[in-house]
Structure 1
C-alpha cells in the first residue's frame, strides 16, 4: 500500500540492517492478516492458516467461543515479525505476550524511539512496532489491532511507553 511504501522510503539512512528487516517484515502484513485473540504463528512467511474460519479459544475476550478468520493478536504479530526478520532465530519474549516482550526491552524516551522499537499500552495490554515518523515527525506504529481487525499503521494514540528490544546491538 502507499502507507507502507512511504514509510519504507522514509527510513533513516543510518538504520541498522536488523531494524530495517523488522520494519520491512512488519509492513509485509499490513492490511493482510486479521486480528484474532490468542492468534500466534511461528511460520516463516505466510501462514496457510490465516483467513481460515477458526474458533477463538483463548480466554479473556468478548470473541472467545466465536468463529473468526484466523490471524494474529498484537503480541503474536510482534513474535511473527521478529521470527521472520531473523529467519527463525529469534522470538522476542519467547511467545509470552506483550508483558513478556516488554521485559526483553529497555524503556526509552519517545524522543529516542527508532524504527523497530516496541510501544505499549498501559499495563502492556497492547504492543506495536515503531515503523518510523511521518512528515511532521510524529511516530508511525505498525500493529495488529482488534479495533481495526487487521495489521495497520497508525499514530501513537493509546501507546504510553516505548522500549528498545535487547535484540538490537545499538
Structure 2
C-alpha cells in the first residue's frame, strides 16, 4: 500500500508515462528491426505509429481520434454513444475502435492530411484498398475480417513467414499484435495512399 501511495503521489509522472508513444518492448523493437531494408519510408512510419499504441490504448466502440500524437482523451471515462454494441450507453475509458486506430495511424503519418476511410468504418477503409495476396502483402497493408467487421495493419512477418497484424482488439481490450489467420483475418488490401 505504501509503494502504491508513493507511486500515485506523482500523478504528473504517471500521466507522462501513460501518454508516451515511445516503443520500449523488445518484441516490438524486433518487429521494427525485421522490416525489409528497402521498405518505403511511409510504410515504415505506418508500422512504427501502429506499434506505438500496443498495450497503451484500450478498445472503445466508436472510438475515433484525429489528433496528432497522443490523444489526451484516451483513458478518460466516457459514455459509449455509437449504436450497435452491447457497450452502448455504458461508461468506459476512452480509446479507439479498430477503424479509428487505422484512421489515426494514417492521419499521423501524413501530418493530418489523409484520413484512410474518409470517416467511415472498416468497410469504407476496405473500399479504398486494392486486394493483395498473403504472399504479396507488405507492412502497411491492411487486414480485414471476412465481413469487414474488423481491420488491422500488417506490421511484418514471423520467422515462418506468417503475417503479423497490429489491431485494436475488443476481445483483448487493447492494441495488440497477433498472427493473421489465427486472429480471424482473411483478406488483405493495399491502401490507396501506397498505390
TM-score category, normalised to shorter length: over 0.9
2:158 to 123, 134, 157: 134
Q: How big is the shift at 1:3?
A: 2.4
Determine which of 93, 96, 121 is the counterpart of 1:72.
96
Give matches, 1:1-170, under 5 Å: 1-156=25-180, 157=182, 158-169=184-195
Structure number, greater radius of gyration: 2
The gaps in structure 1 that reach 5 residues or longer are none
Q: Which has the higher contact order (CA 8 A, sep 6+)?
A: 1
Q: After the TM superposition, which parts of structure 1 deviate over 4 Å for at least 4 consecutive aligned residues?
A: none
- In the alignment, the residues of structure 1 paired with residue 119 and residue 155 of structure 2 have an alpha-carbon distance, to the nearest angstrom, of 21
Instruction: Write the deviation string for residues 99-125 of structure 1: whole angstroms up to 9, x where unpaired.
Output: 110011001111111000000001100
What is the Cα-based RMSD across aligned positions, in Å?
A: 0.7
- Tell me by how many angstroms 1:133 deviates: 0.4
SS at 1:131 equivalent: strand
Q: Is the 8 A contact 1:107 1:163 kept in 2?
A: yes
Within 2, Cα distance between the matches of 1:166 and 1:55? Answer: 33
Aligned length: 169
Partners of 1:68 and 1:3 in 2: CA distance: 29
TM-score, with length taken from structure 1? 0.97
Partner Cα separation in structure 2 for residue 124 and residue 95 of structure 1:
15
Structure 1 position 86, deviation (Å): 1.0
Q: Which runs of 5+ in 2 are unaligned?
A: 1-24
